């Protein structure tokens, strides 16, 4: 079964810099951007008129 894995990064506003660092790390190790959801790090949040689930 080829199910696409999605990574949801949840954090408090005060930890935004850690979320950004985690997104950067994930992309550097080869995780595709469409597999990452982090609303506070553009462009990894919800796109206009898209369902985030």
Q: Is residue 34 part of a domain?
A: yes
Please, which pLDDT band fits residue 48 given cuts at 50, 70 and 90?
low
Q: Is residue 22 part of a domain?
A: yes
Q: Is residue 40 part of a domain?
A: yes
Tell me how far CA of residue 39 lies from CA of 1, 3, 36, 49, 51, in angstroms: 28, 22, 10, 14, 13
Domain range for residue 13? 1-47
Q: Is 20's pLDDT higher than 80? A: yes
pLDDT attached to residue 13: 87
Q: Is residue 53 part of a domain?
A: no
Q: Is residue 52 part of a domain?
A: no
pTM of the predicted model as reported, rounded to 2 decimal places: 0.75
For residue 23, how far is the Cα from the chain centroid?
Answer: 6
Count: domains in the chain: 1
- Determine how many CB atoms are found less than 10 A away from the CB of residue 38: 20
Q: Is residue 18 part of a domain?
A: yes
């Amino acid at each position: 079964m080829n199910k696409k894995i999605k990574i949801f990064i949840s954090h408090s506003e005060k930890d935004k810099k850690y979320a950004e660092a985690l997104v950067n790390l994930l992309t550097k190790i080869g995780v595709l951007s469409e597999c990452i959801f982090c609303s506070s790090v553009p462009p990894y949040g919800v796109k206009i008129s898209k369902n985030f689930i």
